[in-house]
């Protein structure tokens, strides 16, 4: 059990590192004026999304279910654990893909505008679209909800 707890603990750090490594460049890029800086920040955010955030969410969910299994907890009849599973599925199938699409779209448009040497109308529209910012906040809120459910076990 101690080994499984350790693995889950490491997966949690991987997830939190992924959130920070991905969302901090996204937030910073939205306030930058220079296209080259935006391109570097979005490239960094997209690389961190695939290297840290996505594997961190998957590893945390799988190791959490493994840890619950080691503790002989019923995932379905334990209400707070079922709620954690629902939030995790929301992260995997809705929030993370939305963030990935938004990151790729803006990054490619920034690179395209940099190649042309001017800001395009598509890039202005993409930067006006705050979807990656909103989805990033929702990912943070979902992690806080999971933390609250696992600490307080309300039902």
pLDDT for 18:
96
The angle that helices 131-152 and 96-116 make with each other, rounded to 10 degrees, is 150
Per-residue pLDDT tens digits of the chain, which is 155 residues long: 789 999 999 999 999 999 999 999 999 988 888 777 887 888 899 999 999 999 999 999 999 999 999 999 998 899 999 999 999 999 999 999 999 998 988 888 888 888 888 888 888 788 777 888 899 999 999 999 999 999 999 98
pLDDT for 96:
96
Predicted TM-score of the model (pTM): 0.89
Sequence-distant (6+) residues with CB within 8 A of 130 are 30
Please compute, for residue 126, the number of CA atoms within 13 A of its CA located in the half-sphere on the CB side: 22
């Amino acid at each position: 059990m101690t080994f499984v707890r350790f693995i889950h603990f490491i997966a949690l750090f991987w997830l939190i590192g992924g959130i920070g490594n991905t969302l901090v460049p996204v937030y910073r890029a939205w306030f930058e004026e220079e296209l080259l800086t935006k391109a570097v920040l979005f490239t960094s955010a997209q690389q961190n999304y695939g290297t840290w955030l996505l594997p961190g969410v998957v590893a945390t969910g799988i190791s959490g279910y493994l840890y619950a299994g080691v503790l002989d907890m019923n995932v379905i009849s334990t209400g707070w654990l079922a709620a954690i599973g629902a939030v995790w599925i929301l992260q995997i199938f809705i929030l993370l893909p939305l963030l990935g699409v938004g990151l790729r779209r803006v990054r490619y448009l920034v690179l395209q505008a940099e190649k042309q040497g001017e800001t395009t109308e598509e890039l202005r529209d993409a930067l006006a679209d705050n979807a990656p910012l909103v989805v990033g906040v929702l990912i943070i809120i979902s992690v806080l909800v999971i933390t609250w459910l696992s600490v307080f076990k309300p039902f």
